[in-house]
């Protein structure tokens, strides 16, 4: 009876912690909108779009924001400075190479931004919030797996311990359930390092995106540039590792009449691109969609300004948040699975004819 | 629409970070991890096989032991049977011996008794003879105390002995 009670307390504590994490974005969202919307009405779509898109500073809490380095390739060469000036004062930053303004998170040459939609822009390689998050995940992933590898080296073949025992089943799962069945035992070793990195890169970035406060919460893995890069890499790997049989299936489909082959070839060729395209859109839509749902639910509290709505929304938000945790893993799994599947079809021996 | 256009800057950084990560992890993480996992799996496989063969050996040993045990039990029973047979034989022998001895002793005793009886009888007989002689002598002495009697006796003898 007492143990049951204790268990109940423990569960309650865990729930309380989760609730805190979920409540945090509400406050953050409120805080970020408070400065500009002191006189304006709270606009959920503006807040959500602001969150979903990339920014040149990292908002932390209330008035507190971390300025990020701006790296521009301008008409006068490389220009590097901090982003603080874009958000304070008149919003124009002038360096010895030029002066710039930020409009909807796009950097323009100052003075050229008028009515013209296609005002000239410097090439923007800034360390934005998403790039910052990318570097964070880079540091985290390399630290985690290189330190685990050190443990493997040190402990040899003895049983895994600590972090090692958390990640080992996942690594084995990726190897035995995703890569080997799709790519095939013989070729799996060649692609395994890439696919393992891909899986953990997507998963950990999804998870960092779910952390509602600094330094998490950026929508990196839900950004189209991120998913675009990964799908292009998948596309390139598939095309470059494809064997003769694969190309034959695309341009001269065996087992069908010759006229049909001419119809099939462009379709198949388009299929190679559309597979990668689907990968890009799937990850983008799932992660961005998740962020939008969570933020929309949180926004409801501020729209209705009611405890009742808060009481109803918060448990539902908890449910969605837990669902998003699952989605984070599932999308990493799906992306890795499909990439291995595409590689598998590209390298498969032509033995079924 | 803004959301659907990849930003070149982020594409650039993502490519660099991800490819660098692939390179770093392949070299410093996945290689040792996957290698160790493979070695561990092989060693576990071997250990399992060794355990299996050890179990088989144990089974064989156990079967051997059982056989030995059965044999030992049989031998014990055989021994017990032999022993009880020997014991009963000894008992039988002892009984027969005892009977023979008893018989002999009885016979000896009987013979002794007979001999004693005979000797006793013989003594009685001789004592009776002596006594009768003594009595006869005394009677005769008594009867022949006077001459008349002596004369009568002589006469009698003489009558009996007809001198013919």
- Condensed to tens digits (0 to 9), the pLDDT of residues B48-94 reads 999 999 999 999 999 999 999 999 999 999 999 999 999 999 999 99
Across B114-123, average pLDDT: 93
Return the bridge partners of A57, or none.
A67
Q: What is the mean pLDDT of chain B?
A: 90
For residue B123, the model assigns a pLDDT of: 92
Of the partner residues B9, B26, B29, the one whose CB lies closest to the CB of residue A124: B9
Element (H, E) at A122: none
The residue in chain B having the minimum alpha-carbon distance to the alpha carbon of residue A129 is B10
Report the distance separating Cα A31 and Cα A25, nearest Å. 9
Distance from CA of A297 to the nearest CA of B (A): 21
Q: How far, in whole angstroms, is CA A298 from its chain's centroid?
A: 21
Instruction: Name chain B contacts of A202, Cβ cutoff 8 Å.
Output: none
CA separation for the pair A72, A75 (Å, rounded) = 10
Q: Which residues in chain B are closer than 8 Å to A193, comparing Cβ atoms?
A: 22, 25-26, 30-31, 34
Residues 6+ apart with CB under 8 A from A314: A19, A22, A23, A301
Nearest to B12 among A125, A189, A198 (CB): A125
Average pLDDT of the residues in B32-39: 90
Residue among B8, B18, B46 with most chain A CBs within 10 A, to mutate: B18
Nearest CA in chain A to B33: A149
Question: Please, what's the largest Cα pairwise distance for chain B?
Answer: 201
Q: Give the CA distances from residue A258 to residues A248, A254, A264, A271, A280, in Å, rounded to whole numbers and listed in that order.
A: 13, 9, 10, 20, 34
Query: With contacts defined as CB-CB under 8 Å, which chain B residues touch A172?
Result: 37
Residues of chain B with Cβ-Cβ distance to A127 below 8 Å are 13
Contact A218, A209 (CB under 8 A): yes
Q: Give the pLDDT of chain A (353 residues) as one tens digit per residue.
A: 456 566 666 666 666 665 555 555 444 444 444 444 444 677 888 888 888 888 888 888 877 888 888 888 888 888 888 888 888 777 788 888 778 888 778 888 877 665 556 667 888 888 989 999 999 999 999 999 999 999 888 887 788 888 888 999 999 999 999 999 999 888 888 999 999 999 999 999 999 999 988 888 888 999 999 999 999 999 999 999 988 888 888 888 888 888 888 888 888 889 889 999 999 999 999 999 999 999 999 888 888 888 888 899 999 999 999 999 999 999 999 999 999 999 999 988 766 54
Give the ipTM. 0.83
Q: Quick one: which of A38, A15, A47 has its CA closest to A217?
A: A47
pLDDT for A37 equals: 44
Q: Using DSSP, state whether A64 is helix, strand or coil.
A: strand
**Shortest distance, CA B67 to any CA of chain A (angstroms):** 41
Using omega within 30 degrees of 0 as the cis cutoff, is the peptide bond preceding A215 cis?
yes
CB contact (8 A) between residue B10 and residue A193? no
| Contact by Cβ (8 Å): B36, A152 | yes
Mutant choice from B5, B8, B20, B21 vs A, greatest count of A C-beta within 10 A: B21
DSSP H helical segments within chain B, as ranges?
8-25, 31-143, 147-160
Q: Which of B8, B33, B36 sits opposite A156 (nearest CB)?
A: B36
Say which DSSP state B27 is in: I
Instruction: Return the residue of B nearest to A289 by Cα.
Output: B3
> CB atoms < 10 A from the CB of A90, how many?
9
pLDDT of residue A35: 45
Looking at the partner chain, which of B9, B11, B37 has a beta carbon nearest the beta carbon of A228?
B11
Q: What is the pLDDT of residue A179?
A: 93
Could you tell me which residues are beta bridge partners of residue A81? Answer: A70
Higher per-residue pLDDT: A254 or B124: B124
- Picking from B18, B22, B37, the nearest residue to A229 by CB comes out as B18
pLDDT value, residue A332: 96
Q: Which residues does chain A have within 8 Å of residue B12's beta carbon, measured at their own beta carbons?
A: 125
Nearest to B32 among A152, A194, A197 (CB): A152
Q: Is the backbone of residue A100 left (phi > 0), alpha (psi -120 to 50) or beta?
A: beta
Q: Residues with Cβ < 8 Å from A241, sequence gap 6 or more?
A: A191, A343, A346, A347
The minimum CA-CA distance between B49 and chain A, rounded to whole Å, is 17
Q: Which long-range contacts (CB under 8 A, 24 or more apart) does B105-109 make?
A: none
Chain B residues touching residue A131 (CB < 8 angstroms): 9-10, 13
User: Using only C-alpha atoms, what is the Rg of chain B?
Assistant: 65
CA atoms within 13 A on the CB side of B52: 6
Rounded to a whole number of angstroms, the distance from the CA of B58 to the nearest CA of chain A is: 27
Residue B46 burial (10 A CB sphere; 0-12, 13-18, 19+): exposed
Would you call B29 and A145 a contact, using CB atoms and an 8 Å cutoff? yes
CB B2 within 8 Å of CB A288: no
Q: Phi first, then psi: what are they for A127, rounded to 5°?
A: -80, 90
């Amino acid at each position: 009876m007492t143990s049951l009670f204790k268990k109940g307390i423990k569960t309650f504590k865990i729930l309380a912690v989760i609730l805190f994490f979920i409540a945090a974005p509400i406050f953050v969202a409120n805080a970020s909108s408070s400065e500009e919307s002191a006189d304006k009405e709270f606009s959920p779509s503006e807040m959500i779009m602001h969150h979903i898109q990339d920014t040149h500073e990292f908002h932390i809490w209330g008035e507190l924001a971390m300025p990020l380095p701006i790296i521009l390739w301008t008409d006068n060469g490389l220009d590097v400075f901090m982003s603080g000036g874009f958000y304070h004062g008149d919003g124009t930053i002038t360096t010895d190479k030029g002066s710039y303004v930020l409009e909807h998170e796009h950097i323009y040459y100052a003075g050229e931004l008028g009515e013209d939609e296609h005002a000239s822009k410097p090439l923007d390689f800034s360390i934005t919030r998403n790039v910052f998050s990318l570097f964070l995940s880079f540091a985290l992933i390399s630290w985690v797996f290189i330190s685990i590898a050190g443990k493997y080296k040190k402990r040899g073949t003895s049983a895994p311990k600590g972090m090692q025992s958390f990640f080992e089943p996942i690594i084995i799962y990726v190897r035995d359930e995703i890569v080997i069945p799709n790519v095939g035992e013989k070729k799996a070793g060649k692609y395994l390092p890439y696919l393992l990195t891909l899986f953990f890169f997507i998963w950990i970035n999804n998870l960092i995106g779910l952390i509602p406060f600094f330094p998490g919460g950026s929508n990196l893995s839900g950004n189209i540039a991120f998913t675009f890069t990964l799908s292009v890499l998948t596309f390139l790997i598939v095309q470059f590792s494809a064997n003769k049989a694969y190309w034959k299936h695309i341009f001269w489909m065996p087992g069908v009449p010759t006229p049909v082959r001419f119809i099939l070839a462009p379709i198949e060729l388009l299929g190679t691109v559309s597979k990668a395209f689907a990968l890009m859109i799937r990850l983008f839509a799932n992660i961005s969609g998740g962020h939008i749902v969570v933020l929309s639910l949180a926004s409801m509290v501020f729209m209705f300004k009611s405890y009742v709505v808060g009481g109803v929304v918060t448990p539902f938000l908890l449910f969605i948040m837990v669902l998003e945790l699952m989605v984070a893993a599932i999308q990493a799994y799906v992306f890795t699975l499909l990439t291995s599947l595409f590689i598998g079809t590209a390298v498969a021996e032509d033995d079924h004819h | 629409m803004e959301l659907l256009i990849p930003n070149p800057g982020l594409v650039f950084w993502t490519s660099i970070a991800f490819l660098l990560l692939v390179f770093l992890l392949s070299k410093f993480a996945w290689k040792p991890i996957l290698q160790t996992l493979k070695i561990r799996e092989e060693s576990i496989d071997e250990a399992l096989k060794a355990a299996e063969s050890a179990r088989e050996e144990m089974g064989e040993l156990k079967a051997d032991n059982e056989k030995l045990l059965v044999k030992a039990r049989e031998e014990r029973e055989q021994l017990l049977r032999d022993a009880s047979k020997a014991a009963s034989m000894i008992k039988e022998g002892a009984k027969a011996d005892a009977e023979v001895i008893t018989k002999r002793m009885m016979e000896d005793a009987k013979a002794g008794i007979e001999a004693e009886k005979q000797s006793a009888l013989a003594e009685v007989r001789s004592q009776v003879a002596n006594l009768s002689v003594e009595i006869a002598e005394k009677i005769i002495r008594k009867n022949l105390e006077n001459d008349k009697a002596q004369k009568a006796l002589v006469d009698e003898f003489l009558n009996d002995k007809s001198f013919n």
